[in-house]
Amino acid sequence: MTLSPKEIGEKLAAAGRLKSRPLCIYGSESVPDSGKLMTSVDRCIAKAIFAASVSDDLPPLYFGKGALAGCCPGGVGWTGYGRLAPMLEYFVSYGTPEFRNGEGEFLKATPEIVRASKEAVGTITPPGTYTVVQACENLDHDPGIRAVVCFGNSEQIRNLSSLIHFRSADPFNPVRAAWGPTCASWMSYPAGMAEKAPADAAYLGPMDPTGNRWFPEDYLGIGIPIKLAIAMCEDLDGSFIVKKPEVAYPVVREDICSKNRT
């Protein structure tokens, strides 16, 4: 890479004025030095990822073959280390008495739509024996970064999304809000693990509301493929964020909500 992971993280954090740490996602054939088992932080992969960003000192988190005990079964399937249970098609939709006592999440209208959506994602392949999530700030060299994940409030993520659009003539596809679990939005899709996920797009998330009980209501995440993250860094100085900071982050704001409140 032309930039180190640490430099990429610094530039994206500055561009978004982020208060949490940008993270790198990569594959490894061995447990990373000082690595911490992801499931020791939380059984939910997405929750552990967010914890790594808002923490000042969590070491690299890893999971994978032989290191999945206690992990959410859906997370195991959506990261390619296991098979998604067929009955999850019912659980994600309206439920069936044959699975989890008929409990359903009502995220999709029918099991058939869930099945078709999964087929549209394609095969999910892990990046290595282990998948590692690590703060960019702790990486001076590139271990094979697949994607960068950033978290911020809506304005911060809007600005990072606008920076992605800076050099694209495509008005519709560079930033996507794709269906799927939160771990797919932040990891599987941007890290190129999902066979049919476009590789030239960033992914906003979560689009899965089941994480709303722990993910802050004023926050959003964005998973960015590494080539796109590098391009954002290279474009930063010529973009509105540097050239027009008063537009990106206004000091004086108009309060339309209060003005129109009766």
Q: What is the pLDDT of residue 158?
A: 98
Residue 161: name the closest of 177, 178, 185, 182 by CA: 177
**How far, in Å, CA of 190 to CA of 167, rounded?**
19
| pLDDT tens figures, 108-165 | 999 999 999 999 999 999 999 999 999 999 999 999 999 999 999 999 999 999 999 9
The confidence score (pLDDT) of residue 200 equals 95
Cα 41 to chain center, whole Å? 17
Q: H or E element: which one contains 131?
A: strand 130-135
| Count, residues in the chain | 262
Q: What is the mean pLDDT of the chain?
A: 96
What is the pTM for the complete model shown? 0.95
Q: What's the pLDDT tens digit per position in 211-250? A: 999 999 999 999 999 999 999 999 999 999 999 999 999 9
Residue 237 one-letter amino acid: D
Q: How many CB atoms lie within 10 A of CB 100?
A: 13
Phi, psi of 99 (to 5 degrees): -140, 125
In 139-180 the beta strands, taken as DSSP E runs, fall at 145-153, 175-176
DSSP state of 31: P
* Cis before 5 (ω within 30): no
Give the residue, 258 or 75, on which the prediction is more confident.
75
Kindly state the percentage of the chain with pLDDT values over 90. Answer: 93
| C-alpha of 34 from chain center | 23
pLDDT at residue 30 is higher than 70: yes
The number of angstroms, rounded, from the C-alpha of 245 to the middle of its chain's C-alpha atoms is 26
Cα–Cα distance measured from residue 203 to residue 161, given in angstroms and rounded to the nearest whole number:
9
Give the burial class of 33: count Cβ atoms within 10 A of its Cβ; 0-12 exposed, 13-18 middle, 19 or more buried.
exposed
All structural domains of the chain with their residue ranges = 5-70+126-259, 81-123
CA dist 85 and 27 (Å) reads: 25
Q: Residue 79: which of 67, 91, 94 has the closest Cα?
A: 67
- pLDDT tops 90 at residue 28: yes
